[in-house]
Amino acid sequence: MSDVRQVLREANAEAVHRMLAAEPVLIDVVTAADAIPELGEGMILHAGPPISWERMCGPMRGAVAGIAVFEGWANDLDAAAALAARGAFQFRPNHDFAAVGPMTGMTTASQPVMVVENQASGNRAFCTINEGLGKVMRFGGNDASVLTRLAWLRDVLGPALGTALRSSEGIELKSLVARGLTMGDEMHQRNVACSSLLLRNLAAALASTCGDRAILTTILSFIASNDQFFLNIAMAMGKAITDPVRDIKGASVVTAMSRNGTDFGIRVSGLGDEWFTAPVEMPDGLYFPGFSALDANPDMGDSTIVETIGLGGFAMAAAPAVAGFVGAGAPSDAAHITHTMREITLVENPEWTIPALDYQGVPTAIDIRRVVETGIAPMINTGIAHREPGVGQVGAGVVRAPLACFESALWALGKRLGVT
């Protein structure tokens, strides 16, 4: 048993070292097909662990139908749904391809993806561009306005951002996030500061590389008006940080948490790319006027990658206003949430600190052993989608990861180490 403990200590120390040593830099925007060569005709990457069409929730089905029309694989939503039911599309998790996506997480060949490179280890991660607010595909929206906006992201914004980033040395993200934490962001529900800081970094390069003044004005206006623009970048950053932590023999550190509206899944360093799943929980939150919990879909999205690296719900103390907005309690409860998350993590991140906690670092490196021992499930900030396809977002809230995922993963890790 002492040998096993030694293996765990050394493996987890290496996992923590790789997470903290990461140097994520936003370097480019390219088409998903260029970033992910395996992404071919009829292939749809989605949020969460693997799932079939038959088990998909309403908003996931709505997004699948919408993206199929967008890619030209079907003439209308009904035809797209019929094709999906006949098995015409191949569904794979984003996480299998170094990618992540918010909510429904649709990623297909022609969409632009932001590229974050971990310059400490050389790996890259990808995420689509945030669509903005209102009816959007990530929440299951699929009408003409949604598809028109996706086309603008593909044809105008994506290429312009790519050209601007390639003209510079990229944008270093760790220091940007550090500043955002001191300005009230937690990088899941609140990205106002980081989105503004990003725009400051991008504006000069966009102005020097975009020759059409009208297009430049539209681009700057879109980013400036989208308080969640940085979320997708934070997600790609999280994936770039955690991927090098995969496959460390004996490590009990979580490398991915994700949900698809039906299942919640986690991956663990010492268990490679195996998913450990349980039924996803319903968010507890606040709803837009005219909607209630009766309209809500169970939780979904790859965005829990930000909690996996110590942000989002784990950094709630940095953004006390979010606690009230998502129904997690009073702003004064935010510090308690962050303190509680320390009980299930291995370290604090010395580069991402929270002023309200006397500059303590965010809780980092979720340990499945501590989750099971304490019974404390990770706290996640989340948006809430309508349960029917095509409606979109109806609120925001918080949700807990199901303990069963961590229990089954711990059993598997023990078996791998020869102690169960």
Check whether 133 has a pLDDT greater than 90. Answer: no
Res. 3 pLDDT band, cuts 50 70 90? confident
Q: Which residues, 6 or more positions from 200, have their beta carbon under 8 angstroms from its beta carbon?
A: none
pLDDT value of position 418: 87
Indicate whether 326 pLDDT > 70.
no
Residue 134 pLDDT level (bands cut at 50, 70, 90): confident
pLDDT of residue 332: 76
Given the candidates 3.20.20.370, 3.90.1710.10, 3.10.20.30, 3.30.365.10, the CATH classification of the domain at 23-237 is 3.90.1710.10
What does residue 35 show for φ and ψ, rounded to 5 degrees? Answer: -75, -35
How far apart are alpha carbons 147 and 77 in whole angstroms? 12
Average pLDDT of span 386-408: 92
pLDDT, tens digit (0-9, with 9 covering 90-100), for 402-415: 999 999 999 999 99
For the chain, domain boundaries: 23-237, 245-416
- 327: pLDDT strictly greater than 60: no
9-13 contact pairs (CB < 8 A, 24+)? 10/250, 11/248, 11/249, 11/250, 11/251, 11/252, 11/269, 11/270, 12/250, 12/251, 12/252, 12/253, 12/346, 12/365, 12/367
Measured CA to CA, the distance from residue 203 to residue 91 in angstroms comes to 37
Q: How does 62-88 read in b/e, with b if 16+ C-beta sit within 10 Å?
A: bbbbbbbbbbebbeebeebbebbeeee
Q: What is the pLDDT of residue 328?
A: 53
**Residue count of the chain:** 420
Instruction: Please state the rounded mean pLDDT for residues 284-309.
Output: 94
Residue 126 pLDDT > 60, yes or no? yes
pTM metric for this prediction: 0.96
CATH match for 245-416 among 3.30.1330.30, 1.10.10.10, 3.90.1700.10, 3.40.50.720: 3.90.1700.10
| Per-residue pLDDT band at 391 (split at 50, 70, 90) | confident
